Amino acid sequence: MKTKKSNHLRSLNAVFVCMTLWIFTSCLDESESDFDRQLRHDYETIEAYLDLNDIDADFSNYGFYYKALKKNDDGQQTEKDDILCFNYKISMLNEAVIDSATSTSGNIGIIKNDQDKIVPGILRYAIAGMREGEKYQFFIPSVYAYGSYSYSKVISKQSNLVFEAELVEIRNSTIQKSIENDSIEQYLAAHNLEGFTNPVAGIFYKKLESGSGENPQKGQIVKVSYSATYLDGSEFDSTEANKPISIEIGKKEMPEGFEAGIKLMQKGEKAIVIMRSDLGYGASRAVIPRQVRADLIDKEYITEKILPYSVLVYEIELVDID
């Protein structure tokens, strides 16, 4: 096994590199911390796995081993704030697959190349270090993955992970908006939904039941009932039956697209409002494997409930305007 240190994955965060170097230096100290001890054990376990499986891997300054499966030296490099679309498979060292997503299944991974946009955070450095069209395997120590966290049979404590990723496409915000507009149009056509208008860029609106009176304005308090789904029909939020909530227009208590839809309505009206992600929850935060997202929210490790770059469908009733 080759374990040379390499600068192949270009630096994205000098602070992270310095922290990693400090970790290695501290391992030489006689008073080894629990973290250092676990990290050393993780590396020993990963190196034994690489040796056993005759995997020729390099070492990154970000603290993981990696192996190129498909190179593309002419591929576009990533930049901060790019939108990165990738196929992936994540597994334990025992090769038990935990989660996977591919563009062919219509379920591709997608993140914004920025801090705190994916859990575990180290995956950002793995994905963003590739060029468009490249495919790599990453061998990630447990301390940089989920550490002592565990969930059902999905993640065990101190699990070292194998993350295989292919960077399929690098997008900018303009391309992402266009793709989401197309996905909404396709959704309407596939479900034979007619009567929608596009009164605001990124908003598709259809009145279900008429109301009366003036449209609500900034500063007014409205009472609304709603249900909210993704384009696949799965519900992620709703108000309780017969218990509308009060929101102040312009106070950003709800997504921008929600307020834009409300301002098109009249008291007593019911409508469907479909919005692009830039008018919803935007980049949000990705979680891999996806199965642990709800548990991380329940335990308050993260707060982002909505999947990144999700088109949202709201069915809204404007109950009252104060």
Cα separation of the two ends of the chain: 70
Show which of 152, 171, 190 is a domain's final residue: 171
**Co-location of 162 and 19 in the same domain:** yes
What CATH number corresponds to the domain at position 195? 3.10.50.40
> Phi, psi at residue 318, to the nearest 5°?
-90, 95
pLDDT value, residue 171: 97
Could you give the CA distance from residue 46 to residue 171 in angstroms, rounded to a whole number?
Answer: 33
Retrieve residue 292's tokens. Answer: 């642990």
**Co-location of 281 and 186 in the same domain:** yes
Show which of 138, 156, 171 is a domain's final residue: 171
Asked if pLDDT for residue 178 goes beyond 70, the answer is yes
pLDDT value, residue 2: 47
Strands 65-70 and 135-140: what pairing? Answer: antiparallel
**Co-location of 114 and 182 in the same domain:** no
Count the Cβ atoms, other than its own, within 10 Å of residue 3: 15
Indicate the pTM of the whole model: 0.87
Q: Which residues contact 198 (CB under 8 A, 6 or more apart)?
A: 204, 205
**Co-location of 119 and 219 in the same domain:** no
**Co-location of 190 and 126 in the same domain:** no
Asked if pLDDT for residue 140 goes beyond 60, the answer is yes
Show which of 147, 171, 195 is a domain's final residue: 171
Domain that holds residue 316: 174-321
**Co-location of 112 and 139 in the same domain:** yes
**Co-location of 69 and 125 in the same domain:** yes
Asked if pLDDT for residue 260 goes beyond 90, the answer is yes
Asked if pLDDT for residue 241 goes beyond 80, the answer is yes
**Co-location of 206 and 195 in the same domain:** yes
